[in-house]
Amino acid sequence: MLLAALLADLSLIADLSVTVLRFASPGLRDLPERVSVVTADDADCAGALAGCIADADAVWPLAPESHGLLESISRATLQNGKLLIGSSPDAVHLAGSKYLTSQILRAAGIAVVPSYFSTDFLSPNSQAWIVKPDDGAGCSDTHLFSSVALAREWIAARPAYNVVLQPYVAGRPCSLSLLCGSNEVFLLGCSEQRIVAADNQIHYLGSTVNCISDTGGRLEQLARRVVAAIPGLWGYVGIDVIITEQGPVVLGVNPRMTMCHAGLHDSIGVNPAGMLIEMLRSGRCSELRRQKSRQISIDIDGGLPRR
């Protein structure tokens, strides 16, 4: 869904031809003109990636942060002298770690859900805890436990996992969609995420794009502080936030496009990819027209396990 939306937006921009590198799997249909697809499997993925980078003027990585994939593609792009459409590898490295992100934002005085390693001292209490990969993307392999003792027991049975523990924070899950330039930050969307727990696992079911009003600009101000705290964030950036009774608390930073982009164009009435390419070519981006955004629902099939 995310890739199809991006390709549709890019097809509206003149003087661009796009090559998509992806695993050999179905899903892309009715491709726009000037879009070609290169498929690869595990055995030839590295070679295919190197070939695509060599043939391109610019590279836009959509890979997740997991296992250093987004960072490695970003570094390879720059090492080959190509234009990187995305955050710097160092920013990806920092934002890709839940633990480092919580440390950096806390040092900057930003309200953030703390992240701990299982070896850290944690006093026993009745609070629920979340366990997730330190470099995880979305809700992948994210688990909920009623106590820190149960969380540690689960971790101990899987010593190869590089996971962090986070206290469960009650509130409204929100995703902020940003377009970041060298000196500009545009808040394109404030979206609610539909998150549920089933069988002690957290699942993402979709989002309602721009259904949250940023009255008074509190969320935009928070977004600017987060971007300032992690140098090198550029292009599309997503910030996961929990809106609590005490105010917004940052859950994580995504140095890449997020699923909300699939409904962003229809919501704001402006081509977000066009805004980014304009910023790439001129160094600046036209101010987003402050008009009433439409609420667009994105639904993910198969979000819950079948019984």
140: phi then psi, degrees, rounded to nearest 5: -60, 125
Q: Identify whether 255 is part of a domain.
A: yes
Q: Alpha-carbon distance 61 to 264, whole Å?
A: 19
Residues 141, 220, single domain; the answer is no
Residues 140, 6, single domain; the answer is no
Q: Identify whether 306 is part of a domain.
A: no
236: phi then psi, degrees, rounded to nearest 5: -80, 130
Q: Identify whether 117 is part of a domain.
A: no
Residues 104, 177, single domain; the answer is yes
Residues 19, 155, single domain; the answer is no
Residues 74, 107, single domain; the answer is no
Residues 224, 285, single domain; the answer is yes
pLDDT at 306: 42
Q: pLDDT tens digits for 92-145?
A: 999 999 999 999 999 999 999 999 998 888 877 778 999 999 988 777 889 999
Residues 17, 97, single domain; the answer is no
> Concatenated DSSP letters for the chain?
-HHHHHHHHHTTSTT--EEEEEES-S---SPPTTEEEEEE-TTTHHHHHHHHHHH-SEE-----SGGGHHHHHHHHHHHTTPEE-S--HHHHHHHT-HHHHHHHHHHTT--B---B-TTS-----S--EEEEETT--TTTT-EEESSHHHHHHHHHT-TT--EEEEE---SEEEEEEEEE-SS-EEEEEEEEEEEEEETTEEEEEEEEET-S--GGGHHHHHHHHHHHHSTT--EEEEEEEEEETTEEEEEEEESS--GGGGGHHHHHSS-HHHHHHHHHHHS--PPPP--PPPPEEEE-TT-S---
pLDDT at 283: 75
Q: Identify whether 99 is part of a domain.
A: yes
Q: Find the CATH number of the domain harbouring 51.
A: 3.40.50
Q: Smallest Cα–Cα separation from 145: which of 184, 203, 200? A: 200
Residues 102, 241, single domain; the answer is yes
List, for the chain, all residue ranges whose pLDDT scores fall below the cut of 70.
Answer: 25-27, 286-291, 301-307
Q: Find the CATH number of the domain harbouring 218.
A: 3.30.470.20
Task: Locate 218 and state its tokens.
Answer: 């509190």
Quote the domain boundaries for residue 16. 2-90
Residues 17, 152, single domain; the answer is no
Do 104 and 94 form a contact (C-beta atoms < 8 A)? Answer: yes
pLDDT at 291: 61
pLDDT at 171: 95
Q: Alpha-carbon distance 90 to 137, whole Å?
A: 17
Residues 60, 201, single domain; the answer is no
Q: Identify whether 262 is part of a domain.
A: yes
Residues 134, 187, single domain; the answer is no
Q: Identify whether 120 is part of a domain.
A: no
Residues 65, 206, single domain; the answer is no
Q: Identify whether 36 is part of a domain.
A: yes
Q: Identify whether 122 is part of a domain.
A: no
Tally of domains in the chain: 3
What is this structure's pTM? 0.93
Tell me whether residue 70 is exposed, middle or buried, using C-beta atoms within 10 angstroms of its C-beta: 0 to 12, 13 to 18, 19 or more.
buried
